[in-house]
């Protein structure tokens, strides 16, 4: 080595040095001192110690994905419906104040038999119970009953109270549903009073048929939901109604907007109108959903250029809109109708006051002034009486009073009922709301269960997705609330069942839509090699070679020592 | 044998019922351009043309998610400021005065795109930036940009792999976020992007095969760059000239048959196997099933009297209102004289809607600021101590 560099640097000195080169090349380098060997060993060991005790844990820690443990099997069982078969036992109180106890007991027993014979859908059945406390049975009114389920923990909710009363001058029994309470009055001719001996008295059959008719829509709806939307009678109408209604949400935003193409009306008595016409309904809905209300007035709101203009109809003496053009009525691009408030869906209710030159405006086909846009909201055309303007033309009034808002808000209330999926029968609002509670409980139970199943499958199919601890706790909350929903349903406490189903649903959604669960970078293995090799190659090769050398030396030393001892 | 036949019959009946209810209730469109910079003008023009078409066929802005990584209309190199054209004749200004871009500029990232599809977004994200589709929604996903074998580049900085896209659609299916999905992609080697899809009810189509480039159609000499890609151009030509109204009966089969390799200069691909019923069934879906919007407005008949009709509901609601007013009066009479004057008023509200409190500014993350300061202080102190100790020891050595 040195001779070669010597050649280059000083060619004159080469002659003097050639004599030395040969013996030097054969000369062995001086043996390393034990201290140097020791130091080298220590250096290599230090490098490896850093790699093993610092580098490796850090690499492991920073590249591993935290996956909390989830009860996969339980979740899948819920989704498959193995854990819970939802049942809907409705408790119906029968009060027969004028009858003797054995007679009324017999009536209840035979009616129950007749009911059981009529019922085709086992999950939804009516249980009759005799109450003699007539005072109490008349007392509970509609919305009390709707909210009662939340507070009553022990007994099942009373779905309906049937009062059986004799009435003179009747040929056949007759029923009357009190529209504002949950009470069904049955009047029967005294001659048809049930006799304990008869096994199938006509009065029992009549009551059973009445009850069956009352709950037929609810039964069909629940059957439709539980079967996953394929089976059940009236499947088409029910699925149409379900399609029209909003997806369940814990909170709905109601947005009331006044749109007008001109400058008037520029104010409306909205606060009082909401308070007066809408809040009773919202209060009745309290156990099902929460609501927030926003209102706005938008002046100079034009139709979009694509919308066909209304046509004047001589026969109706009104401006008419064609039914097929109604879907283009809302100028989605320019009317500020998509407020981004909170997390819940928004239901839009639009009060449109047409320009005086186009007033009154109606729908051509049936002279209606309102329509529902499925899953979105409703529109109402308000044609206020026109005032004479000073310049001779006609103008809209500048202010819309509470009284003239009444028809609009009544219609909005109806649209709200429809959009929230309230069943159309029976003809009593408290009963319909109760029915909605059961339908919603069934929907939420199924949707939360299926979300659990989705999450379970997702966890198994995507090993690269992280699962934070909050998801695990949400899942356990969901599962516990699902089972309490199930037991509440079995006990007939539908209000309580809905309350826990709401929690289960929101927790299930939260766990599925957890923000940090985005497995966005899938690396194929060749990519991993490409990432690690440039980094680990230059460092890894010297380290590995030195480790091997050192090991070889140790093994050689160990062998030499053994030979020397042998 | 006859039993078997009957079983078959029953099964086919069931299937028919299923098919009859298989109807979508809403339409969503996700239109994504993934490239930046002026020379990629055509990618934004592609997306804006599609945007214009779906809007023309009835999908409202609130159900279109438009992702534009750059703003060509306001680019200083644009000779026609404020406009974007997809054709050298410059007949239609795609930018117009009525356009809603939901994700713009550096918001267009792989992460945001996947979060959008899976809805794993913060609670504060406005609804206009969310894909609010559900089990009844038909979703159109159109992507364009620069891609390669099983990846699509986003903004020169990152890329989305075919695996990630497949997993995102898989999660959408798991959470019932679409009913049927039409995936369209115009990029080089586009057909490789949908090879990994595994969730059902997806029809996928792309502009070019593996190892094939996807070409631009023509350039506008005044704009100075290519203004549209070939495949998108011919898809649009079909949509604009043949699907003229939202009631068009043309099918996806017609659309895919219109592909002409001699014009497109690459081999477009279609994937049917994920669709129930395969190609046969999928070809029957109409184009407006994905590009249009269903909205079956329901007029309320003011004269009908069947249950659940307007009239009956109005009567019930009126009764409810009446009852509440009565309860109000009773309640205030119970309260006695003190509130007598109040009950006289026409509106004595007992149902208090929660009044809104004006939201003021709050300090974020107030908790633990002192703890953090303490930690910082001790770290600085420890470092100083080590330095001092080192310098002292060094001097003594």
Per-domain boundaries in chain A: 88-222, 247-419
Per-residue confidence (pLDDT) for residue A233, from 0 to 100 = 56
Residues 33 through 62 of chain B touching chain A, CB cutoff 8 Å: 58, 60-62
Distance CA A391, CA A84 (A): 72
Contacts of B274 by beta carbon, 8 Å cutoff, 6+ apart: B197, B198, B199, B200, B201, B202, B203, B204
**Does B297 sit within 8 Å of A367, measured CB to CB?**
no
CA of residue B111 relative to chain centroid, distance: 14
Contacts of B82 by beta carbon, 8 Å cutoff, 6+ apart: B73, B74, B95
For B150, which residue in chain A has the nearest alpha carbon? Answer: A524
DSSP state of A88: E
Residues 47 through 86 of chain A touching chain B, CB cutoff 8 Å: none
Contact B270, B312 (CB under 8 A): no
Contact residues on chain A for B110, CB-CB shorter than 8 A: 520
Categorize the per-residue pLDDT at B286 as very low, low, confident or very high, splitting at 50, 70 and 90.
Answer: confident
Categorize the per-residue pLDDT at A268 as very low, low, confident or very high, splitting at 50, 70 and 90.
Answer: confident
Average of pLDDT values for A556-566? 87
Residue B307 has its nearest CB partner, among A326, A411, A424, at: A424
State the angle between helix axes of B41-56 and B230-241 in degrees (0 to 180), rounded to the nearest 10.
Answer: 20
Contact of B314 with chain A, judged by CB distance below 8 Å, is answered with yes
Size of interface A-B (CB pairs under 8 A): 188
DSSP state of B302: T
Q: What is the pLDDT of residues A107-158, one digit of tens each?
A: 888 888 888 887 777 778 788 877 765 444 444 444 444 444 344 445 677 7
**Does B307 sit within 8 Å of A425, measured CB to CB?**
yes
- Nearest Cα residue to B162 out of B200, B201, B114: B114
Give the active site residue among B43, B146, B196, B352: B146
For residue B237, is the peptide bond before it cis, meaning its omega torsion is within 30 degrees of 0? no
* Separation of first and last alpha carbons in chain A: 41
Give residue B144's region: left, alpha or beta (phi > 0; psi -120 to 50).
Answer: beta
Strand, coil or helix: B82: coil
**Does B115 sit within 8 Å of A180, measured CB to CB?**
no
Across chain A, mean pLDDT equals 79
Residues 239 through 278 of chain B touching chain A, CB cutoff 8 Å: none
Q: Which residue has the tokens 């308070």?
A: A275
Beta bridge partners of A127: A91
Residues 133 through 172 of chain B touching chain A, CB cutoff 8 Å: 134, 136, 161, 163-164, 167, 170-171
Contact of A242 with chain B, judged by CB distance below 8 Å, is answered with no
Count how many residues are written for chain B. Answer: 397
Per-residue confidence (pLDDT) for residue B394, from 0 to 100 = 83
**Does B300 sit within 8 Å of A368, measured CB to CB?**
yes
Give residue B336's region: left, alpha or beta (phi > 0; psi -120 to 50).
Answer: left
Contact residues on chain A for B25, CB-CB shorter than 8 A: 243, 374-375
Per-residue confidence (pLDDT) for residue A368, from 0 to 100 = 80
Average of pLDDT values for B273-301? 82
Choose the weakest-confidence range: A191-205, A239-253, A390-404, B380-394. A191-205
DSSP state of A278: I
For residue A164, is the peptide bond before it cis, meaning its omega torsion is within 30 degrees of 0? no
Residues 329 through 358 of chain A touching chain B, CB cutoff 8 Å: 332-334, 337-338, 340, 343, 345-346
**Does A326 sit within 8 Å of B163, measured CB to CB?**
no
Work out the percent of chain A whose per-residue pLDDT is above 70. 85
Contact residues on chain B for A408, CB-CB shorter than 8 A: none
Q: Is B383 a catalytic residue?
A: no
Per-residue confidence (pLDDT) for residue B4, from 0 to 100 = 46
Average of pLDDT values for A239-267? 83
What is the DSSP annotation of B52-79?
HHHHHTT--GGGEEEEESS-GGG-TT-S
Angstrom distances, CA of residue A423 to CA of A19, A124, B137: 114, 16, 24
**Does A365 sit within 8 Å of B98, measured CB to CB?**
no
Contact residues on chain B for A292, CB-CB shorter than 8 A: 354
Contacts of A142 by beta carbon, 8 Å cutoff, 6+ apart: A180, A181, A182, A284, A428, A429, A430, A431, A433, B323
Across chain B, mean pLDDT equals 81
Average of pLDDT values for A53-67? 88
**Does A369 sit within 8 Å of B316, measured CB to CB?**
no
Per-residue confidence (pLDDT) for residue A90, from 0 to 100 = 83
Residues 526 through 565 of chain A touching chain B, CB cutoff 8 Å: none
Residues 62 through 81 of chain B touching chain A, CB cutoff 8 Å: 62
**Does B100 sit within 8 Å of A333, measured CB to CB?**
yes
Contact A438, A88 (CB under 8 A): yes
Average of pLDDT values for B112-126? 87
Closest CA–CA distance from residue A312 to any residue of chain B (Å): 19
Contact residues on chain B for A247, CB-CB shorter than 8 A: 134
CA angle A335–A340–A345, rounded 5-degree value: 100
What is the DSSP annotation of A114-180?
HHHHH---TTEEEEEEE---HHHHHS--HHHHHHHHHH--SSPPEEEEEEEEE-TT-SS-EEEE-TT
Distance CA A321, CA A370 (A): 11
* Separation of first and last alpha carbons in chain B: 102
Kind plus residue range of the DSSP H or E element containing A237: helix A235-244
For B302, which residue in chain A has the nearest alpha carbon? Answer: A368
Average of pLDDT values for A73-78? 88
Predicted TM-score of the model (pTM): 0.75
Categorize the per-residue pLDDT at B146 as very low, low, confident or very high, splitting at 50, 70 and 90.
Answer: very high
Distance CA A202, CA A205 (A): 5
Give the active site residue among B24, B179, B188, B217: B188
Contact residues on chain A for B115, CB-CB shorter than 8 A: 515, 518
Name the residue with higher pLDDT: B373 or A308. Answer: B373
Categorize the per-residue pLDDT at A186 as very low, low, confident or very high, splitting at 50, 70 and 90.
Answer: confident
Average of pLDDT values for A327-355? 77
Contact residues on chain A for B170, CB-CB shorter than 8 A: 461-462
Distance CA A238, CA A222 (A): 10
Contact residues on chain B for A508, CB-CB shorter than 8 A: none
- Joined tokens for residue B303: 């004269």
Distance CA A522, CA B163 (A): 7
* Four-point Cα dihedral B275, B278, B284, B285, nearest 10: 10
- Nearest Cα residue to B52 out of A333, A329, A324, A327: A333
Q: What is the pLDDT of residues A474-512, one digit of tens each?
A: 999 999 999 999 998 888 888 888 889 989 998 998 888
Contact residues on chain A for B300, CB-CB shorter than 8 A: 368, 370-372, 411, 414-415
State the architecture of A88-222 in CATH terms: 2-Layer Sandwich (3.30)
Whether pLDDT at B14 is above 70:
no
Contact residues on chain A for B296, CB-CB shorter than 8 A: 327, 374
Helices (H), A335-466: 402-419, 429-461
Contact of B351 with chain A, judged by CB distance below 8 Å, is answered with yes
- Joined tokens for residue A287: 């156990």
Per-residue confidence (pLDDT) for residue A9, from 0 to 100 = 42
Q: Is B146 a catalytic residue?
A: yes
Strand, coil or helix: A258: strand
Distance CA A390, CA B308 (A): 45
Per-residue confidence (pLDDT) for residue B141, from 0 to 100 = 94
- Give the mutation candidate from A249, A520, A526, A530 for the B interface (greatest B CB count, under 10 A): A520
**Does B26 sit within 8 Å of A520, measured CB to CB?**
no
Name the residue with higher pLDDT: B276 or A102. Answer: B276
**Does B313 sit within 8 Å of A230, measured CB to CB?**
no
Burial of B279 (0-12, 13-18, 19+ CB in 10 A): middle
Helices (H), chain B: 2-21, 41-56, 110-118, 162-174, 230-241, 252-257, 261-264, 278-282, 288-291, 310-335, 340-344, 369-396
DSSP state of B381: H
Contact of A33 with chain B, judged by CB distance below 8 Å, is answered with no
Average of pLDDT values for B60-73? 88
For A278, which residue in chain B has the nearest alpha carbon? Answer: B321
- Joined tokens for residue A132: 């003699």
């Amino acid at each position: 080595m040195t001779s070669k560099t010597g050649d280059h640097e000083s060619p004159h000195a080469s002659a003097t040095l050639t004599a030395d080169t040969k013996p030097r090349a054969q000369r062995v380098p001086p043996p390393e001192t034990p201290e140097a060997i020791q130091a080298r060993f220590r250096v290599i060991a230090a490098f490896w110690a850093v790699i093993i005790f610092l580098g490796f844990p850090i690499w492991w820690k920073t590249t591993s994905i935290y996956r909390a443990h989830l009860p996969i099997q339980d979740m899948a069982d819920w989704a498959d419906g193995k854990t819970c078969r939802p049942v809907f036992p409705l408790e119906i109180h029968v009060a027969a104040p004028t009858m003797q106890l054995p007679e009324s007991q017999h009536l209840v027993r035979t009616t129950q038999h007749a009911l059981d014979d009529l019922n085709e859908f086992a999950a939804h059945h009516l249980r009759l119970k005799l109450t003699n406390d007539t005072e109490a049975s008349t007392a509970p009114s509609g919305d009390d009953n709707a909210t009662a389920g939340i507070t009553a923990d022990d007994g099942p909710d009373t779905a309906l109270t049937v009062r059986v009363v004799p009435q003179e001058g009747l040929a056949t029994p007759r029923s009357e549903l009190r529209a504002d309470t949950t009470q069904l009055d049955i009047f029967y001719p005294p001659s048809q009073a049930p006799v304990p001996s008869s096994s199938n008295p006509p009065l029992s059959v009549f009551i059973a048929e009445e009850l069956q008719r009352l709950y037929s829509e609810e039964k069909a709806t629940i059957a439709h939901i539980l079967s996953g939307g394929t089976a059940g009678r009236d499947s088409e109408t029910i699925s149409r109604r379900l399609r029209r209604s909003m997806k369940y949400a814990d909170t709905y935003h109601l947005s009331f907007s006044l749109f007008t193409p001109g400058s008037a009306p520029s104010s409306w008595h909205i606060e009082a109108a909401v308070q007066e016409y809408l809040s009773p309904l919202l209060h009745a809905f309290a156990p099902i959903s929460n609501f927030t209300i926003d209102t706005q007035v938008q002046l100079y709101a034009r139709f979009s250029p694509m919308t066909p203009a209304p046509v004047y109809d001589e026969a109706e003496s009104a401006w008419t809109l064609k039914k097929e053009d109604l879907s283009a009525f809302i100028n989605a691009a320019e009317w500020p109708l998509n407020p981004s408030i909170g997390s819940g869906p928004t239901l839009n209710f639009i009060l449109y006051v047409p320009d005086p030159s186009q007033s009154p405006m109606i729908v051509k086909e049936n002279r209606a002034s309102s329509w529902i846009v499925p899953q979105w909201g409703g529109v109402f055309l308000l044609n206020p009486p026109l005032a004479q303007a000073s310049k001779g033309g006609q103008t809209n009034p500048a202010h819309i009073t509470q009284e003239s808002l009444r028809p609009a808000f009544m219609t909005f209330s109806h649209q709200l009922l429809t959009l929230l999926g309230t069943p159309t029968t029976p003809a009593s609002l408290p009963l319909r709301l109760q029915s909605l509670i059961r339908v919603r409980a069934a929907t939420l139970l199924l949707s939360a269960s299926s979300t659990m199943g989705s999450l379970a499958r997702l966890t198994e199919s995507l090993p690269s997705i992280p699962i934070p601890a909050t998801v695990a706790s949400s899942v356990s909350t969901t599962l516990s609330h699902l089972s309490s929903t199930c037991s509440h349903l079995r006990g007939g406490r539908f209000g309580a069942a809905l309350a826990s189903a709401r929690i289960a649903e929101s927790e299930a959604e939260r766990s599925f839509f957890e923000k940090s669960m985005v497995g966005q970078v899938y690396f194929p293995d060749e990519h991993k090699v490409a990432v690690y090799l440039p980094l680990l190659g230059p460092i890894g090769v010297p380290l590995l070679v030195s480790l091997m050398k050192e090991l070889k030396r140790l093994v050689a030393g160990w062998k030499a020592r053994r030979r020397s001892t042998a | 044998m006859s039993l078997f036949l009957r079983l078959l019959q029953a099964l086919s009946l069931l299937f028919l019922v299923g098919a009859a209810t298989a109807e979508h209730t809403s339409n969503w469109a996700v239109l994504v351009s993934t490239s930046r910079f002026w020379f990629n003008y055509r990618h934004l023009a592609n997306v804006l043309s599609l945007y214009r078409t779906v809007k023309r066929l009835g999908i409202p802005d609130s159900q279109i998610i438009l992702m534009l990584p750059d703003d060509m209309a306001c680019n200083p190199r644009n000779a026609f400021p404020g406009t974007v054209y997809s054709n050298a004749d410059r007949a239609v200004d795609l930018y117009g005065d009525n356009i809603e871009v939901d994700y713009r500029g550096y918001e267009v990232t792989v992460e945001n795109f996947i979060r959008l599809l899976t809805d794993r977004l913060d609670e504060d994200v406005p609804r206009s930036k969310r894909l609010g589709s559900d089990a009844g929604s038909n979703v159109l996903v159109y992507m364009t940009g620069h891609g390669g074998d099983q990846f699509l580049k986003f903004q020169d900085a990152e890329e989305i792999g075919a695996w990630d896209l497949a997993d995102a659609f898989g999660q959408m299916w798991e959470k019932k976020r679409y009913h049927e999905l039409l995936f369209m992609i115009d990029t080089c080697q586009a057909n490789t992007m949908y090879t990994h899809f595994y969730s059902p009810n997806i029809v996928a189509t792309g502009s070019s095969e593996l190892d094939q480039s996807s070409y631009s159609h023509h350039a506008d000499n005044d704009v100075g760059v290519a203004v549209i890609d070939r495949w998108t151009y011919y898809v649009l030509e079909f949509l604009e000239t043949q699907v003229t109204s939202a009631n068009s009966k043309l099918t996806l089969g017609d659309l895919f048959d219109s592909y002409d390799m001699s014009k497109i200069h690459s081999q477009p691909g279609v994937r049917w196997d994920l669709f129930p019923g395969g190609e046969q069934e999928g070809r029957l879906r109409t184009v407006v099933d994905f590009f249009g919007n269903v909205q079956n407005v329901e007029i309320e008949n003011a004269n009908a009297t069947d249950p659940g009709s307007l009239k009956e509901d109005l009567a019930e609601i009126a009764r409810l209102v009446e009852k509440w007013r009565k309860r109000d009066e009773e309640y205030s009479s119970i309260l006695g004289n003190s509130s007598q004057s109040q009950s006289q008023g026409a509106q004595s509200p007992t149902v208090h809607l929660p009044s809104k409190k004006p939201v003021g500014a709050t300090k974020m993350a107030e908790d633990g600021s002192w703890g953090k300061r303490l930690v910082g202080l001790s770290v600085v102190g420890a470092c100083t101590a080590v330095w001092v100790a080192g310098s002292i020891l060094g001097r003594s050595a």
